[in-house]
Structure 1
Amino acid sequence: MDPAKLSNAIENVHRAGMPGLFAEVRDGDEVWRGAAGVADLSTGRPVTADMRHRVGSITKTFTAAAVLHLVDGGEIGLDAPVGRYLPELVPGERGDAITVRMLINHTSGLGEYLPYAYPSLRAFPDLAECRPQSLDDHRLTRFDSTELIEMGVTAPAAGAPGGTPGLYSNTNYLLLGQLLERVTGVAAEKYITQNVIERAGLQDTEFPDGPQINGPHSRAYEAFFGMIDPPRDYSVFDMSYAGPSASLISTVADLNRFFGLLLAGEIVHPSSLARMQRTVPIVSQEGKVIEYGLGLYPMEAAGGGIFWGHGGTTWGAGALSMIRGDGGRRMSVAMNLQRWNTLDASGRPQPHPIDDALAALYRVAMSG
């Protein structure tokens, strides 16, 4: 690793328009941590690399690992129908056809609940017709997971169960949370904490117990494709809308530790890790077809090599974790601005200097 290049690359992301970001890169015994920019635009308080941060859908990797832990123990059948466990939530023929595996890899055909929970997003994926008003309306709303699931289950089907490409849908992971609770008798967040987070020795990773983030953290600035100008701080937000799908709080150091242990076969059995790395094509929330496994997906890094990991976004906060297939080089990055791209006349996000600067940071971090 070249610390000078890494420091310059992370500063360039800040110069391109990111208020603040921080990262950790590891390769064997080598560790680099860096931060650039501010945690609070009003005070100029700087970001630091040890800050806690909402990591969005990286939560899905933790939830998938918890389910596979029970698969390893024979308590859940990976290819068992979800209707066997949750007949009241996914009733009838769909409950018989959708398997646990299909929930984890987003091939269930279930729609996304978010446009129904947030009415001003009802036009999603037509971004030009979406508006951010619901974010303020529901900043402190305490959602019930089963009601959100019902929104997703009754939404128009995204496809037939098991069909590809699947559709990335948070409904799947809320159902996995209910599955964990039904099988273990404890709340999904508690089971994941005891059997994944604590098992991995993560000291600064937790599910929120309210709208606040405990410990040192940054503000979270949401631009919503230029519709919120200047970007608004959503660091205080009730994350019950996301639960075991995207509500986790962590640090870049904890994320790197977790993914390192996961790929070493120390979180789930090596046979389950192999299952996690078997991918199918799905359509991402950005409308792109990507390969997706069981809570993991592969990413190609400039300079060669396949890296495994997951990205995540919540209102105002984003993160990305990547680890080389052999478990060596790994990187976790956290950012305090989201949806910085404005839309063109047809509603497509336009390129922004932040995009190129982030790509350069990832390139230096993973292969520089």
Structure 2
Amino acid sequence: MSFLLAPTLLTLATALSAPAPQLQSQALLDALRESSGVPGLGAAVWQQGRLVWQGSSGLRDLAQQLPVQADTRFRLASVSKLFAATAAAQLVQQGQLDPEAPVQPLLGEALPPDWPPLSSAQLAAHSAGVPHYQAQDSGRGHQAHASAREATATHLQARQLVGAPGARFHYSSWGYTVLSAVVEARSGLNYLDFLARHTTPGLAIGVDRSDDAQDRTMSRPYTLTPQGPQPAAPHDYSYTWGGGGLAATPGALAEWGGRVLQGRVVDAATRDWMWTPQRLNSGEPSGERDFQMGFGWRLGQDLEGQALRHHAGVTSGARSVLLLWPEQQLSVSLLSNALWTSAIERTAELLSAPFRPLPKDLVAADCPTGHTRFQAELQDEAFEGRLRFVRVAGHCQGELELPEALATRLHAPPQPRRERLRVLALAPGLARAALVSPIGLLEWRAIGQDKAQVLLPGQRLLKLRLQA
């Protein structure tokens, strides 16, 4: 028989039985690394004004067997876009940049002369019509650039827009190369210098140096293959410092997110303006999937409907994300040193769950230590498998042994296929848990004493019945 746990009883049970949140999150991070096959992961949680956890797992350098540490820096990939947008917002706050004004007068011959007027706000919201990477960009990454303006002039002169400015959302990293060139033009500083002086002062955030073997703080980048992780090919990201060319430690990234929450990077009014949906010419908000676009920031919700401000990234040798919860004053980072298929926003959300209040509508479920089997249903297809659960220091942990057909359904290359998935509780008993899969952490919710469902990417539900 299922019932709802009263919030006060749930809080008391958690305080009495659950391990420290730092230990829970570290256990999740270690399990995630093992399941995904990624060589190294780093994560951090900033809460109410301070870093409360920095987690490291695996190796930053396979050849030398060097571990990931708190000072290890990872490629940020497209999380770098948050810094370009916020740097531009700093100039908006200072009255040095009109976000709605055409950028062509600022950049002159660096842009094609036949482009119609487009604005910084449109660039930041991916509605300017600037193309993303195209076939002609296959050789990018083999040339160094001294400035964002130089990169813009080198790579965009022969391009055509893919649509009229303001007509629709079209994701574009080249648009952020242009936006970082606008920062240079209005500030009079090289883009990297502006970031270091004004946007990220004192933090371990800067240009990606993954290919510099002498830089002992940088993680080496890897590619996942059937033979295991292999070193990624060298790549110079100076063509897109604003779009994907930065690196950071997980702690520095989470700390920077905290500064944004506190109004220390831009003031509160400018921050809230960045977090307001940017409108297309039609009046509809720019965005796609489950988020709208602010000024560079993605605006969405977490699993409980709480407001999220975020951005994720993927590139050779990296998968990254930064999540901010304005109402909870919480900033969470998750960084890795390989490109892998991942529901990374939800993974970071569940990784940080031990630091956030439990959902109010949890259904009570005991740790099923006496159960050995499960039946599952996914999109009207039935499966059967084995399971085992134990209590470790009062904390419920388990493992599902998947039938081959279900393991195949949950497989996403380039990660290895896993037929055994761990389950780590996030609430008393097994009311809520994380199913640790190759594609990330997936939310497990009890819907009865011996029933649960797991939310998969694409809003698919894996329904489970646990049996003795």
**Alignment partner, residue 197 of structure 2:** 194
Matched residue type, 1:282: G
1:9 aligns with 2:11: no
**Alignment partner, residue 338 of structure 2:** 337
1:62 aligns with 2:83: yes
Deviation at 1:43, TM superposition (A): 4.0
**Alignment partner, residue 76 of structure 1:** 97
| Alignment check: 8 A CA contact 2:151 2:240 kept | no
Distance 1:325 1:356 in 2: 24
| Alignment check: 8 A CA contact 2:111 2:156 kept | no
Instruction: Select which of 258, 263, 269 maps to 2:261.
Output: 263
Deviation at 1:210, TM superposition (A): 9.0
Distance 1:60 1:350 in 2: 26
1:41-190 superposed matches below 5 A: 41-92=62-113, 94-96=115-117, 98-113=118-133, 115-118=135-138, 138=141, 140-143=142-145, 146=150, 151-152=155-156, 154-164=158-168, 166-190=169-193
Matched residue type, 1:220: P
1:271-310 superposed matches below 5 A: 271-279=269-277, 280-283=285-288, 288=289, 290-310=291-311
Distance 2:290 2:155 in 1: 24
1:212-227 superposed matches below 5 A: 212=212, 214-223=215-224
Question: Structure 1 pair 251/209, CA: closer, same or farther in 2 (3 Å)?
Answer: closer
Matched residue type, 2:95: G
Aligned residues: 325
Deviation at 1:301, TM superposition (A): 2.3
Question: Structure 1 pair 210/183, CA: closer, same or farther in 2 (3 Å)?
Answer: farther
Question: Structure 1 pair 4/185, CA: closer, same or farther in 2 (3 Å)?
Answer: closer
Question: Structure 1 pair 168/231, CA: closer, same or farther in 2 (3 Å)?
Answer: same
Distance 2:233 2:53 in 1: 26
| Alignment check: 8 A CA contact 2:210 2:221 kept | no
More helix by share: 1
Once the two structures are overlaid, the 10-residue window that deviates more, 233-242 or 318-327, is 233-242
Distance 1:351 1:336 in 2: 14
Question: Structure 1 pair 235/2, CA: closer, same or farther in 2 (3 Å)?
Answer: farther
Question: Structure 1 pair 169/359, CA: closer, same or farther in 2 (3 Å)?
Answer: farther
Matched residue type, 1:105: A
1:25 aligns with 2:24: no
Distance 2:209 2:40 in 1: 25
More strand by share: 2
Q: Which has the higher contact order (CA 8 A, sep 6+)?
A: 1
Larger Rg: 2
Matched residue type, 2:340: R
Instruction: Give 3-state SS (helix, strand or coil) of 1:167's partner.
Output: coil
Distance 1:210 1:46 in 2: 15
Deviations 1:98-138 (A, max 9, x none): 1111011110011024542215xxxxxxxxxxxxxx7xxx5
Distance 1:266 1:26 in 2: 15
Gaps of 5+ in 1: 120-133, 342-347, 364-368
Matched residue type, 2:128: S
| Alignment check: 8 A CA contact 1:313 1:319 kept | yes
Distance 2:230 2:209 in 1: 23
Question: Structure 1 pair 5/248, CA: closer, same or farther in 2 (3 Å)?
Answer: same
Deviation at 1:5, TM superposition (A): 2.1
**Alignment partner, residue 397 of structure 2:** none
Question: Structure 1 pair 241/222, CA: closer, same or farther in 2 (3 Å)?
Answer: farther
Deviations 1:312-335 (A, max 9, x none): 233202221111122522211111
Matched residue type, 2:332: M
